[in-house]
Copies of this chain bind each other. A is one copy, B any other.
Amino acid sequence: MDTEVVAGWLSSEDLDSARERLPIVYVEAVPVRVDERGAVSEVGLLLRVRPDGSISHSLVSGRVWYGELVRDALMRHLEKDLGPRALPRLPASIAPVTVAEYFPSPEVTGLVDPRQHAVALVYVVPVTGECEPTQSALELRWFTPAEALSDAMAADMAGGQHRLVRAALVHCGHVQ
């Protein structure tokens, strides 16, 4: 079975309809640089310009297609968001660091996606190559763990995603 099946593509209309009725499966990656001993030295966040001109930081994130393996979806979104030469190293286990549950309303979990109820599998992904964001992002910027954990960064991330950055860093031994 080809996991890159055409059925992965829905019309916008069909996707809108499904989003009103079913949780949507997502994958999210926190890109990191690691030192030669594997310890996290930097966290990569995508920069996007908001309508008001301010800068927003976000994770690598996207939907799992029909017929697609979680591992393939992760690779596809990493390549889409970081470019073809990022050389991401997915973990050997597909068990996620955490599960992020997004809802249109902020009251449920604090993670917000106005479009849908999404269940996202979250991974920490060391990246060893050169990153060239190819889509809507301006660039990928690298931060120290302390910067990524700061309250200033939390204010610059939408939808509660700073929580996932913090969860990922704590998982890797960085705790404020």
The reply on A82 being an interface residue by CB < 8 A is: no
A80 nearest CB across to chain B (Å): 15
A75 nearest CB across to chain B (Å): 5
A27 nearest CB across to chain B (Å): 10
User: Are A91 and B21 CB-contacts (below 8 A) given A3-B108, A69-B101?
Assistant: no
Contact between chains at A38 and B167 (CB < 8 Å)? no
Q: How many copies does the complex hold?
A: 4
Contact between chains at A34 and B101 (CB < 8 Å)? no
The reply on A157 being an interface residue by CB < 8 A is: no
The reply on A152 being an interface residue by CB < 8 A is: no
Q: A125-165 interface mask toward B, CB cutoff 8 Å, 1 = contact, 0 = none?
A: 01000000000000000000000000000000000000100
The reply on A166 being an interface residue by CB < 8 A is: yes
User: Are A97 and B95 CB-contacts (below 8 A) given A64-B23, A119-B64, A176-B166?
Assistant: yes
Contact between chains at A96 and B95 (CB < 8 Å)? yes
Q: A71-104 interface mask toward B, CB cutoff 8 Å, 1 = contact, 0 = none?
A: 1100100000000000001111111111101010
In the complex, 6 of the A-B residue pairs with CB atoms within 8 angstroms, ordered by the A residue number, are A18-B21, A22-B24, A67-B117, A70-B99, A93-B171, A170-B170
* A interface, CB within 8 angstroms of B: 1, 3, 7, 10, 14, 18, 20-25, 32, 34, 37-40, 64-72, 75, 89-99, 101, 103, 105, 107-109, 117, 119, 121, 124, 126, 163, 166-167, 170-173, 175-176
